[in-house]
């Protein structure tokens, strides 16, 4: 559809199917893609002030080239925009724009903007269509695939929201050159996750090629496409997370608890770092339960350390968390059902599975040992 | 499924299909119906303090009989609960309840509670299932069919929300005995609307049998079932209001403008009254355009007056609205597309159609004449 697209991943969800276009510097093709899909629609861009400073001009210019003058909504950067307050601000701004139900919301930003704008698109005038333009590695390989949108409340993260599929995802891999090394690494944790879920060949490929991904070589498009395809396959099989989709949460139960105990303070830990440590914990816990060879865990730790990711709870700056606090967060997790704890465990490299009914006492003993 | 059900209307929407059960005093069968549909789920009831005083005991007792102890959320009565503030209050309360994604929201109340609770159900944990127990005639024949849910904002009514279908609607016609005569009449306007859209036989039947409907005879179940079936047929053909569903808005463009100019002050006008006057205006405007015989309009006016509904703008207490103000509201209406006004007009009794591209000047001239 547009120049520079190196890979296209189709997310196959019947009438809600859509394409993910992946390539270097394809943001400048946004207008062309827009006009092809929505020849007579207007657009509203929802972004944050950080991303606006870097990429808004390119996006706007591209839309203007095809005769679309977008209305622009700039949110404050950071997780705090993913809130009732941010929702009201963004939704009211879309209504201010006077756009109509057939017009298009464009989410230009990372996971926060994608989750917020996708939710807003789903509820303004009972549903407008939307395009995701993810600008972080994390959002390109994770939050832009699968249609999970929403906000956080005082009860926890992502507890209010919708399954709402975009009509197009445009993943410009050159945009990732503007990320801090820390943010790039955090996103990479989710890339490695796809190998660890069920694709040992991909994990091996990552062990050999991760430097090319970080350097912006063609390996970057390859890794993003394989990650999107992996997620798309799971989502196509289980859109509403009845079962298999839970595998995508490998490392996330522990990870969310670590983010929670740090009060989501990005100075201490960001989501991808929580996932990295959480994946290591999931492997270690699997080993402790006699499910997984310790050598596999060592290999996972070695790779995550090689790219510079944290792998131990004590890698998080600040005080070590209390086990009780972590257990509280684990019990609150959405993956809990009727008091049993659901965990994603593994039987080996790329052999993850959903284990329902893990005993809380076993988790507690494991964490006490880790933090002892 | 439960005793006392006289009529069942199936709303046919593929995997989102559901039944509307209609009968006298069937609220006491809520528990039985719940257990049949959701054998291992918990329930949260969202209601308002007026309805709670009248019907909550019956609903709770019925659920307890089958071993379900519902969590209860009581909202303030009235339109102001259909707001961002009401949404946050209700959503946070559902999260407080510790219910899980597989549990059930029960909306016990009129249109406000149905719209709010249906929206909340759609977004808490990215979607819980819900049951509608509409307690007004208006909500039994209108808002409980079709899946429109949402809240109002300062930009207008129902601008934030979702299409979200319930899993069951339980319409207890005895509950309507507790309505004020004014509220019952207002709901009746929507019943008459189904005749005027495309079913002249039903309108004639109403002319003969309306007293039985008001008195709570078997005609009441008949009228509610025919209304629900009429709406269900339209919704099944056009769930997301691309076209035919717009017919359900007969009388609503004028009606919403009248509600708006009265600032939604229920002392002056309630929704059904706006619809009654709006339907008369739609017929008069159609006559003025040479589309509809004036005798048809007279017949519509005569019937609505017979049941005690307002039929003229001057029936609304307080100052007559300015034409400019009404035109502003009409232009803001969701049914506007690219500056053209969309109206539901009619060619005769029960011969309504969607007219796109009505000239604003013609509407203005008509209103000036009416208010002159």
Q: Which CATH superfamily is domain A182-371 in?
A: Dehydroquinate synthase-like - alpha domain (1.20.1090.10)
In chain B, where the domains are located: 7-178, 181-371
Q: Which residues of chain A make contact with B123, given a CB cutoff of 8 A? A: 119, 123, 150, 160-162
**Interatomic CA distance for residues B73 and B49, integer angstroms:** 9
SS3 for B177-203 is HHCCHHHHHHHHHHHHHHHHHHCHHHH
Asked about B239 being catalytic, the answer comes back as no
Contact A127 B163 (CB under 8 A): yes
Q: Topology of B181-371 in CATH?
A: Dehydroquinate synthase-like, alpha domain (1.20.1090)
Residues B100-118 pLDDT 10s = 889 999 999 999 999 999 9
Q: Which residues of chain B make contact with A124, given a CB cutoff of 8 A? A: 159-160
Write out residues 89-128 of A within 8 Å (CB-CB) of B. Answer: 91-92, 95-96, 100-102, 119, 122-127
A297 is in an annotated binding site: no
**Interatomic CA distance for residues A64 and A83, integer angstroms:** 31
Q: Which residues contact B48 (CB under 8 A, 6 or more apart)?
A: B74, B75, B76, B77, B78, B81, B109, B110, B112, B113
Asked about B148 being catalytic, the answer comes back as yes
Residues B219-233 pLDDT 10s = 999 999 999 999 999
A332: pLDDT strictly greater than 80: no
Asked about B249 being catalytic, the answer comes back as yes
A6: pLDDT strictly greater than 80: yes
Domain B7-178 has CATH 3.40.50.2020: no
CA angle A362–A365–A367, rounded 5-degree value: 110
Q: Which of A152-166, A206-220, B225-239 has the highest mean pLDDT?
A: A206-220
B267 is in an annotated binding site: no
Instruction: Name the residue with higher pLDDT: A49 or B340.
Output: A49
pLDDT value, residue A245: 84
In this complex, is the C-beta atom of A49 within 8 Å of any C-beta atom belonging to chain B?
A: no
Q: What is the mean pLDDT of chain B?
A: 94
For B262-283, what is the mean pLDDT? 95
Burial of A334 (0-12, 13-18, 19+ CB in 10 A): buried
pLDDT value, residue B224: 98
pLDDT value, residue A282: 97
Q: Which of A17-31, A115-129, B46-60, B316-330 has the lowest mean pLDDT?
A: B316-330
Q: Which residues of chain A make contact with B143, given a CB cutoff of 8 A? A: none
Asked about B271 being catalytic, the answer comes back as yes
**Interatomic CA distance for residues A6 and A167, integer angstroms:** 19
In this complex, is the C-beta atom of A357 within 8 Å of any C-beta atom belonging to chain B?
A: no
Contact B150 A96 (CB under 8 A): no
Residues B194-211 pLDDT 10s = 999 999 999 999 999 999
Closest A-chain CA to B119: A123
For A43-68, what is the mean pLDDT? 98
Residue B96 exposure: Cα atoms within 13 Å on the Cβ side: 11
Residues A222-247 pLDDT 10s = 999 999 999 999 888 876 666 778 89
For A256-271, what is the mean pLDDT? 92
Asked about B190 being catalytic, the answer comes back as yes
Q: What is the mean pLDDT of chain A?
A: 94
Contact B127 A240 (CB under 8 A): yes
Would you place residue A361 in the very low, low, confident or very high pLDDT band (cuts 50, 70, 90)?
very high
ipTM, 2 decimals? 0.90
In this complex, is the C-beta atom of A147 within 8 Å of any C-beta atom belonging to chain B?
A: no
Q: Tell me how close the Cα of B176 comes to any Cα of chain A, in angstroms.
A: 29
**A107 pairs with which residues across the strands?**
A46, A132
For A279-307, what is the mean pLDDT? 97
Asked about B209 being catalytic, the answer comes back as no
Domains B7-178 and B181-371 share a fold: no
Please identify which of the residues B129, B148, B167, B303 carries the catalytic annotation. B148
Would you place residue B333 in the very low, low, confident or very high pLDDT band (cuts 50, 70, 90)?
low
Please identify which of the residues A24, A252, A303, A370 carries the catalytic annotation. A252
**Interatomic CA distance for residues B151 and B283, integer angstroms:** 30
Phi, psi of B286, deg, nearest 5? -60, -40
Would you place residue B317 in the very low, low, confident or very high pLDDT band (cuts 50, 70, 90)?
very high
The answer to whether residues B122 and B149 touch, using CB atoms and an 8 Å cutoff, is yes
């Amino acid at each position: 559809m547009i120049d520079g697209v190196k890979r296209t991943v189709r997310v196959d969800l019947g009438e809600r199917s859509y394409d993910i276009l992946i390539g270097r510097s394809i943001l400048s093709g946004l207008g062309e893609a827009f006009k092809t899909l929505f020849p007579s629609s207007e657009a509203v861009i929802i972004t944050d002030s950080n991303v606006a400073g870097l990429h808004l001009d390119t996006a706007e210019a591209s839309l203007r080239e095809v005769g679309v003058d977008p209305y622009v909504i700039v949110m404050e950067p950071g997780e705090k925009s993913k809130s009732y307050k941010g929702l009201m601000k963004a939704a009211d701004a879309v209504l201010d724009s006077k756009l109509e139900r057939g017009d298009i919301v464009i989410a230009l930003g990372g996971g926060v903007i994608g989750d917020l704008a996708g939710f807003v698109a789903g509820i303004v005038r009972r549903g407008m269509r939307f395009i995701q333009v993810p600008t972080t590695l994390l959002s390109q390989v994770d939050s832009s695939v699968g249609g999970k949108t929403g906000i956080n409340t005082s009860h926890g993260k992502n507890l209010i929201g919708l399954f709402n599929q975009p009509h197009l995802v445009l993943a410009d891999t050159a945009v990732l050159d503007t990320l801090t090394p820390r943010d790039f690494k955090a996103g990479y944790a989710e890339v490695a996750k796809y190998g660890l879920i069920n694709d040992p060949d991909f994990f091996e490929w990552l062990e050999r090629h991760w430097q090319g991904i970080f350097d912006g070589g063609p390996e970057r498009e390859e890794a993003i496409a394989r990650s999107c395809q992996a997620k798309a396959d799971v989502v196509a099989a289980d859109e509403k997370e009845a079962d298999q989709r839970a595998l995508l949460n490998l490392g996330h139960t522990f990870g969310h608890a670590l983010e929670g105990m740090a009060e989501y303070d990005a100075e201490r830990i960001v989501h991808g770092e929580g996932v990295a440590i959480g994946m290591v914990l999931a492997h270690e816990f699997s080993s402790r339960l006699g499910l997984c060879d310790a050598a596999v865990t060592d290999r996972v730790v070695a790779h995550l350390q090689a790219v510079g990711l944290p792998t131990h709870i004590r890698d998080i700056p600040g005080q070590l968390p209390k086990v009780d606090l972590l257990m509280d967060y684990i019990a609150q997790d959405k993956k809990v059902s009727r008091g049993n704890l659901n965990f994603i465990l593994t039987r080996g490299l790329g052999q993850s599975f959903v284990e329902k009914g893990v005993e809380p006492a076993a988790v507690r003993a494991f964490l006490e040992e880790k933090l002892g």
